[in-house]
Chain A
Amino acid sequence: MSVLLIAEHNNKEVKPFTFNAISAASQINEDVHVLVIGSNSEEVAKSISQVPNVKKVINVNNPIYENYIAENYTSVIIKLSGNYSHIICSANTFGKNLMPRVAALLDVSQISDITKVISEDTFQRPIYAGNAFATVKSNDKIKCVTIRPTSFDPAPTSGGSAEIQNGDAAEATEITKFIKKEEIKSDRPELGTARVVVSGGRGMQSGENFKLITAVADKLNAAIGASRAAVDAGYITNDHQVGQTGKVVVPDLYIAVGISGAIQHLAGMKESKVIVAINKDGEAPIFSVADYGLEADLFDALPKFLEELNKLNTIQK
């Protein structure tokens, strides 16, 4: 049986996590078919057909799919589901919104956010915000699985030439209407996918002081994070929150400034490749997960840190 992977795109370009999902899908079964549901989305179908791991692209093209609505996508997927052993997509807001709707209609218990493929029916996934890992086996006939994009390398984007087949649209929903999307226009990388994250905690003492974090983040082309304590204290908005109740991040470099390292914060960042902690309390739990700990007053350390960065000839972007 084959794997049906649902592509995320904006009718012009494929969203990058789709490539991570393709690579996870091909670990489950080599016969990966990618479903593109869109409007004038031929370019999207074409670029996916060039991924060597993809065996077939199904392009369902209709003006009703100009904007992504889970209700509409679900009807198309259900119609095709009979031919597949697995339905896969990425576990970001796109896939999290979509897959359970599909799974429920197929009467399948979904497996969310897998970080490892063990076999066709067995997967590893984090629970309790990554404080534990569960190995789970699905006994359902069709397996509905979402994958954690950062746990799988993206599939190569050229060299393949999969067949592109046109698929049929399903009936359009009348119960949900798309109104608008406001993309946050920022030169800064997104918190969930940034290579570097600089985060501030209660130790920042005020929202105003976050400008010290911003300056370092600008220099490193980093996203800005915060602990729940900093958010609760009103220093910064909730969308910056890293932790169990905020975002889980896995950057190459995570710099925690004035963050003590409460369990709920550690849950959101301890999978980062390299962790730096700057804190004046040498006993702070954050040091137990830090690769490099600097016991110092952040108000001295941050300006000095920026100064040292300025001295470097090159900085990775």
Chain B
Amino acid sequence: MKILVAVKRVIDYNVQIRVKEDNSGVVTDNVKMSTNPPDDNAIEEAVKIKEAGKAKEVVVVSVGEEKAQETVRKALAVGADRGILVKVDGVIEPLAVSKILKKIVEKEKPDLVFMGKQAIDDDCNQTGQMLAALLNWPQATFASKIEVKEKTLEVTREVDEGLETIEVNVPAIVTCDLRLNEPRYASLPNIMKAKKKPIEQISAGDLGVDVKSRIEQIKVEEPPKRKAGIKVASVEELVQKLKNEAKVI
């Protein structure tokens, strides 16, 4: 079995987001970037399946600018075998990403495609489901447990009411939730080894995919600021304020 894992380079989750003064977007220059957190779970799961002898190869793919190569390299350092970078400049919508990934799937013919459930920059939560639709493959979203069977996967999904288990035929798309596993850190020797692993670079244009935006971004604004609160001196005062002033208890 072969697993393709899609990863995205995003602003690190610990960075304070700043909106550009002209409201055209958020500041990304000189800002720490890292792998989208649930994509780390996707890589970890693929590597674990390979280590368990149930997959032969883990290929990692990212769609983004030149620097997304670092994100691919990081995945290689925790056990992926080789990488693909599809180069695109600027913002690209999930629909276009899923069309690009479809081309990669047609070329690589993986049995499974894993990715994070959502990217923490645009918060769209679309790409996996869209790719599944375009390929007419089953989708298992928000996976918190994956069991590889002979020709199927049994996936436990985190849904609002609790947990749901479904069985999907292979080939399938799985989007990973944070509870799926504990992503490992890359060891120094593995980081060194990853430098020798191949990363193929392709441009979106070569794949014949139209990456033009369909959605017009009119403006990006700061969220409304909370007005400064007060400090209370005691627990008694706190309870009294909550009861009589805020009226929430």
Bound CA–CA A126/B120 (angstroms): 11
A188: interface (CB < 8 Å): no
B185: interface (CB < 8 Å): no
Which residues of A line the B interface, CB within 8 A?
69-71, 74, 91-94, 96-105, 107-113, 122, 125-140, 173-184, 190, 192, 196, 220, 237-239, 241, 244-246, 252-253, 262-264, 270-271, 273-276, 282, 287-296, 301, 304-305, 308-309, 312, 315-316
Bound CA–CA A238/B218 (angstroms): 36
With A103-B95, A136-B218 as known contacts, state yes or no: A181 contacts B230, CB within 8 Å: no
Given the complex, which residues of B lie within 8 Å of A100, measured CB to CB?
Answer: 94, 125-130, 133
Chain B residue with Cβ nearest A186: B162
For the complex, would chain A's binding face be called helix, strand, loop or mixed by DSSP majority?
mixed
Interface residues in B, total, Cβ within 8 A: 81
In the complex the two chains form, is A293's CB within 8 Å of B230's CB? yes
B114: interface (CB < 8 Å): no
**Least Cβ–Cβ distance between B131 and chain A, in angstroms:** 8
With A135-B219, A264-B14, A289-B226 as known contacts, state yes or no: A128 contacts B231, CB within 8 Å: no
Q: Which listed residue, B17, B19, B94, touches A110 by the CB 8 Å rule?
A: B94
Given the complex, which residues of B lie within 8 Å of A113, measured CB to CB?
Answer: 123, 125
Contact with A along B8-44 (1 / 0, CB 8 A): 0001011111010000001000000000011000000
In the complex the two chains form, is B231's CB within 8 Å of A294's CB? yes
Which residues of B line the A interface, CB within 8 A?
11, 13-17, 19, 26, 37-38, 93-95, 98, 120-134, 136-142, 154, 157-169, 172, 178-179, 213-223, 226, 228-232, 234-236, 238-239, 241-243, 246, 248-249
In the complex the two chains form, is B125's CB within 8 Å of A112's CB? yes
Given the complex, which residues of B lie within 8 Å of A99, measured CB to CB?
Answer: 126, 129
In the complex the two chains form, is B158's CB within 8 Å of A93's CB? yes
Given the complex, which residues of A lie within 8 Å of B222, measured CB to CB?
Answer: 132-133
In the complex the two chains form, is B13's CB within 8 Å of A309's CB? no
Since A134-B221, A138-B215, A293-B231 are in contact, a sample of 19 more A-B pairs with Cβ atoms closer than 8 Å, ordered by chain A residue number, is A93-B159, A96-B141, A98-B129, A99-B126, A99-B129, A100-B125, A101-B129, A110-B94, A111-B215, A127-B122, A135-B220, A139-B215, A181-B165, A192-B160, A196-B248, A245-B13, A263-B15, A291-B226, A304-B235
